[in-house]
Structure 1
Amino acid sequence: MSQKAVIFDLDGTLIDSLEDLANSVNQTLKEFGFNTHEINAYKYFIGDGVKVLLKRATNEKENEETIEKLHKRFKVIYKKEIDSKTKVYEGIHQLLGKLENQAYPKAILSNKPHNFTLDCMNKFFSNYSFVNISGQKDSIAKKPDASAALLIAKDLEKDVENIYFVGDTKIDMQTAKNAGMIAIGVLWGFRDEKELRDNGADFIVSNTDELYDILIS
């Protein structure tokens, strides 16, 4: 069987960034006089980009002008806190190392702003080669739109049916389905198995050994 390729989500898939994101949003909210939230609440705020995150954190009652002000301040705070508590999930380095040794084509697609995506990749994964690293950009629709995933597929030089898309939320599963890729949901991230299955996961994995076995099958 010919080698396939993989596109990974970032937050909740390769890195546990929940606490840094939550703390940065909470600090932003506090400065603007909004109520803050428990860290675990952010598991369901995260996934659709920063502006949607801020809308959810303010109960979706604020106008775009206010969200823009929050967004601007959040970016300043998060840039300082981006790796304060963030850590790589157990087994990820070993997984990437094994894929690297096989010259297995890898890419990243995140709804995290592109500059922050690059910051995290440089901080945690600079030892690995990725064909494409893409965060959220204003010039292209964010996940679950398939546009960015399809552009990455061209760089990977694989047909979409030979590309695995690995993520931890319904957004990732929907992106895979919209792009015609194979959806793998991971259970160590921010959402649960039901959400992943309900949104089209072809495989569900609970650890990186299971993930590796699928990727090389």
Structure 2
Amino acid sequence: MRFKAVLFDLDGTLADTAPDLGGALNALLVERGHPERALASLRPYTSAGTRGMLRAGFGVQPGDADYADLAARFLELYAERLCVDTEVFPALVPVLDTLDTHGVPWGIVTNKPRRFTEPLVDALGLTARCACIVSGDSTDHPKPAPDSLLLAATLCDLPPADALYVGDDLRDVQAGAAAGMATVAAAWGYLGVDTPIEHWGADWTIQHPAELATICGLALATS
């Protein structure tokens, strides 16, 4: 086994949260007198959380006059539909089963605030299976800083170099590299809109979750 633990980003890597984040944004757009946006057009912005969704829907960014008000209301609406249509990416289910079968601990490192992360992971039925759950406010400096990944390694009682980090955003690769971890860019995810995935500098870029088992030197579990 090449790695002793596998860590996953949450939104767009482990779970498809775009339907509920997009639903919250569309509810906010309607409240403010704007038409809804097609979910497909919102997906690339989803990994950036509130900042990305408000950029997509309203063209605003932190520091703009109405950003704080829009962000507060967006989060209220998201809390109301946190796990209505969200699900673990189906192709990742056998990967998680494989890790469990071989006794390889896996966890979640996300920039999502704890007040959303923990109930969402619980609703997905993953809490008891996670070796660690590190949220965006678990440390003072979220990704792309390495702090949250270093905390995850500590919680797993492993040196960072023994862990593999999987994410669907440039900042995931940046954080993993800064923490001294090998990194995987998950091409099935949301990927953002600014830097093409081939320029992220990940150790591996994969199209399908099953490739993770190969990277880890494991035979994929079958049902």
TM-score (norm 1): 0.87
Q: CA deviation at 1:212?
A: 1.2
Give the equivalent residue in structure 2 for 1:168.
168
SS, match of residue 44 in structure 1: helix
| 1:203 to 2:189 alignment | no
Give the equivalent residue in structure 2 for 1:184.
184
d(CA) in 2 for partners of 1:171 and 1:142?
A: 10
SS, match of residue 130 in structure 2: coil
| 1:216 to 2:217 alignment | yes
Distance 1:90 1:27, change over 3 A: same
Give the equivalent residue in structure 2 for 1:74.
74
How many residues get paired? 216
Give the equivalent residue in structure 2 for 1:30.
30
1:59-97 deviation line (CA, Å, top 9, x unaligned) = 126755622222222222112222222222122222111
SS, match of residue 21 in structure 1: helix
SS, match of residue 165 in structure 1: strand
Contact 1:187 1:204 in 2 (8 A): yes
Flag structure 2 segments of 5+ consecutive residues without an equivalent.
219-223
The residue identity in structure 1 corresponding to 2:167 is G
Distance 1:3 1:175, change over 3 A: closer
d(CA) in 2 for partners of 1:46 and 1:95?
A: 23
Give the equivalent residue in structure 1 for 2:221.
none
Q: Which moved more, 1:117-126 or 1:39-48?
A: 39-48
SS, match of residue 189 in structure 1: coil
Q: In angstroms, what is the RMSD of aligned CA positions?
A: 2.5
Q: CA deviation at 1:122?
A: 0.5
Q: Which moved more, 1:119-128 or 1:52-61?
A: 52-61
1:145-199 deviation line (CA, Å, top 9, x unaligned) = 111111111112222222100011212111111212111112211128x823311
d(CA) in 1 for partners of 2:106 and 2:178?
A: 19
d(CA) in 2 for partners of 1:139 and 1:51?
A: 19
TM-score (norm 2): 0.85
d(CA) in 1 for partners of 2:128 and 2:196?
A: 30
Contact 1:12 1:168 in 2 (8 A): yes
SS, match of residue 104 in structure 2: coil
Flag structure 1 segments of 5+ consecutive residues without an equivalent.
none
Give the equivalent residue in structure 2 for 1:103.
103
The residue identity in structure 1 corresponding to 2:107 is A
Contact 1:29 1:36 in 2 (8 A): yes
d(CA) in 2 for partners of 1:143 and 1:61?
A: 18
Contact 1:45 1:57 in 2 (8 A): no
1:121-146 deviation line (CA, Å, top 9, x unaligned) = 11113375222102221852221111
Contact 1:100 1:128 in 2 (8 A): no
